[in-house]
Structures are given as structure tokens and as C-alpha cells.
Structure 1
Amino acid sequence: MTETADRLAACYTGVVHDVMRAMGLKDFTLPAELRPILPEKRIAGPAFTIEGMTDASAAAHDTLLAWTGLLSKAPRGSIWVCQPNDRIVAHMGELSAETLKNKGVRGCIVDGYIRDVDFLLEIGFQAWSRGFTPRDIVSWWLPKATEVPITIGDVEIRSGDYMVADRDGAIRVPAAIVEAVIEKAEVAIGTENLVRKAILEGVDPQEAYLRYGKF
């Protein structure tokens, strides 16, 4: 798992996208509104999926008990991928990020808001979100299920599917084809290096494209 994640992390999202498009796949790019707090830090790894729900009648103790239990379930080497079904409160913060980082979780992708961003930056915990708010989950939000299929935008993500995310965006790679995607991406990167070298040597861009079949 670690070797696969590291190899995928070495493949930027642009080339992974092009490979998957060429394979005939669709609906694998997460919404562009999801942005990272550490744009220079690429992450990749298997998804630990979370589906949530709001409950305005939930007791503070129950929401915090459920949240801490949720943190305990995240496996080492995974990426926390959450569909909170909420755009009001934050679904990641300092103590949670510290917990996950110490467990070996590679980062998080939340289709909603996060908070304590200065602290997350300080500890280097990569977090993708739609924005920030100081409001927390207490007496408002509960996890509904973990390791179930979730949908972010038009992308269905199953627990164990691989995520790769960088400054350009985030992509889901189905677990069943991740090795094939990585192999094709590594070849494509090699070809792009040849095209880049040709361009820098003054080769006409169309000639470079026709020579290598890529641009």
C-alpha cells in the first residue's frame, strides 16, 4: 500500500487525468472548488471514506463521542475523505489533525469546511476543503457511516480507492486499476520529458507532438 501510494504521489494530477481519460474513464475529478491549504504538498493514498449528517437536536457529548470514535477508526497510510453533507460547521481542526497525523494518516479531503488552519499549516497536515469557519461540530453533526461509497461532486469514492491531489486538483483512482494507471502515468511522464527537451532545443511544438504523440 505504501509503495503504491508513493508511486502515485510522484505522478502529478495532470498526467493522471490524461491517462484515465485515455482509458475511457469518466467522473473521476473532484470539484475545482476544493482547495488545499498547502498547495506545494502533493498527497496520495487509499481513501478512508466518511458520510455524515446534521442533527440540531444532538447532545454535545454525543457529537464529541462520535467524533473521537471516528478519529480512532482512520487507518495508517490512508487519506481521510469526508462527505459531511453540511456547509455550516468545520469538519477538521487542530486536535483532530494532530491525532490523524500521529496515526500516520496522510491528509484529508473534506467536501465542506475546516478550521484551525494556522495550526494545520504549522504541523504540515494537508487538508483540502471548500473553505474555513470557526464553528465546530458540537451539537450539530454526526458521522453516519464509514468505509461506504460517498459522492463528492460527480465522483463516487469507495473506501480503498486511491486519491491523488496536488495544486491543480484532486482525482479518485479506482483501487482495481490503480497499478495500471500508475504504470501508464510513469510512461507518460517519461514521454513528456522528451517533448519538453525537444521544445527547449527549439523543435516546433507541432513537430514535437507528431514525433512523440503527446503534448
Structure 2
Amino acid sequence: MASRSDNLPRRFARIYTAAIADVMDELGLQRQTLPWAIQPLTADMRLAGYAFTARGRPYRGTPRDRDTTLRLFLRMLGAAPADSVLVLASGDNAAAHFGELSAQWFRSRRIRGAVIDGATRDAASIARLRFPTFVRYRTPQDSVPRWRVRDWGQPLTIGGVRVALGDIVVGDWDGVVVVPRRVAHEVLVRCERLVGTENRVRAAVRRGMTPLEAYEKFGSF
């Protein structure tokens, strides 16, 4: 996991995902946005942090397997460090892989959010808690009889996007982008510059400058 001294999550939290996607396009990183179906529970949810990766699979165990399955899931939750974002590739379309108690635990640990290529339940409670949670679907069905964590801390792929431990994950109402750790600082600096330029464009357009004039003056629109 990356060093906590670099302050990347706090700085990336100020940047909207569209700006990050534009900068990564310029760098030739054009497949860094997770599938559009992964959306926040509410429009005001935002997250930015270091990826803590986990994978799972459908698992139809016996009632005797319940304790083992649940303990494995709880160990995964306990392994997530502060300033991270859980990125879970569930490999499943039936169960809920997150819930309100998990969100409460993460909040107490200063974990910055959860991105689930799968589902949550207790969605209304998580929304009231205001814990940033991005999911593909919602369902009341418990995961324990249907699904099991496979591993965590390993690279994974969601919708063709590779996510590795320590990558930067940023999410807002538009979706979720993944910034590879090796280019995170360069992307951040370019994004901060782009946001400053777009603020000047915005002010100019409000004063009556045409879009083409703004582009010709600032090189951005």
C-alpha cells in the first residue's frame, strides 16, 4: 500500500472524475473507468482513497459452512487499512456483498468508501450513515449461503479495468475511475492544473465569452 504521507486521497477528493478521465485520456490511459452500472447510493456520495482489493465467487455451502464463510468475510473487512477504498469484484449477481454493519465498521476505521462490483443491502441505512458506497445493484439476500470471499490484496479486473492494491480510486455521481499508482502524482498535478483552467473558462463564459472564444483563449472547454 502507498505511503500515507503523500496526501493523495485528500487532494484527489477535490477533483471530479470527469477531469481525471480527461487527463488519463491525454496520457493514453483510456480504459480506467469502471462500468457505468456501478453507481453511488446517493448523488452526493464521493470517495477517494487507495484501493484495497478483494475478490469473491458464488459458493453454495452447507449450513455447517456458514461460520467459516462468515469468518473469512470478517477477516477481509478487518484487513482494510485507513485511507483505503474497498474494491470488491464479487463475481456474483445474486447476493448482497456489503451492508450497514460493514459500513459502520469501515467508518470507524477511517476507510474512505466501498466500490462493489456486486450488491449491498441496508441501502437506506448506509445512505443515512453517509458512507460512500458504490454498487451495481441492491438486494436483501444475504451473501453467506450464496457467496464467499476468495482472497484480498491481489490485482483484479472489473469491466476490463485492472485494479491493484494501492491504486487511487475516485468516485462521484458520474462514476468511478482508477488511477494506476505509478502515474498518480502526474495525473493529480495535471488535474489540478486542468481544474484551474476550467474555472477560468467557466468565469469567462458567464461573462458572455462564446465557447469557441473560450477554447481559443484557454485551450480547454
Q: TM-score, normalised by structure 1?
A: 0.97
1:29, 1:41 → 2: CA distance? Answer: 17
Contact 1:97 1:120 in 2 (8 A): yes
After superposition, residues 141-156 of structure 1 pair within 5 angstroms as: 141-156=147-162
- Counterpart residue identity of residue 6, structure 1: R
1:15, 1:68 → 2: CA distance? Answer: 36
Task: Return the match for 1:87 from 93, 103, 106.
Answer: 93
Q: How many residues align?
A: 215
After superposition, residues 114-125 of structure 1 pair within 5 angstroms as: 114-125=120-131
Percent identity for Structure 1 against Structure 2: 36
After superposition, residues 46-65 of structure 1 pair within 5 angstroms as: 46-58=50-62, 59-65=65-71
Alpha-carbon deviation of 1:61? 1.0
1:4, 1:107 → 2: CA distance? Answer: 15
5+ long unaligned stretches in structure 1: none
1:126 aligns with 2:132: yes
Alpha-carbon deviation of 1:45? 0.5
1:177 aligns with 2:183: yes
Alpha-carbon displacement from aligned partner over 1:161-196 (angstroms, at most 9, x marks no partner): 000100111000001111111100000011111111
Task: Return the match for 1:213 from 200, 213, 219.
Answer: 219
Contact 2:56 2:148 in 1 (8 A): yes
Alpha-carbon deviation of 1:140? 2.1
Contact 1:63 1:137 in 2 (8 A): no
SS in 2 for 1:53: strand
Matched with 2:166 is: 160
Provide the alpha-carbon RMSD of the alignment: 1.1
Could you list the structure 1 runs, at least 4 aligned residues long, displaced by more than 4 angstroms after superposition. Answer: none
Matched with 1:190 is: 196
1:104, 1:140 → 2: CA distance? Answer: 29
- Counterpart residue identity of residue 135, structure 2: S
1:96 aligns with 2:96: no
1:170, 1:55 → 2: CA distance? Answer: 28
Alpha-carbon deviation of 1:34? 0.7
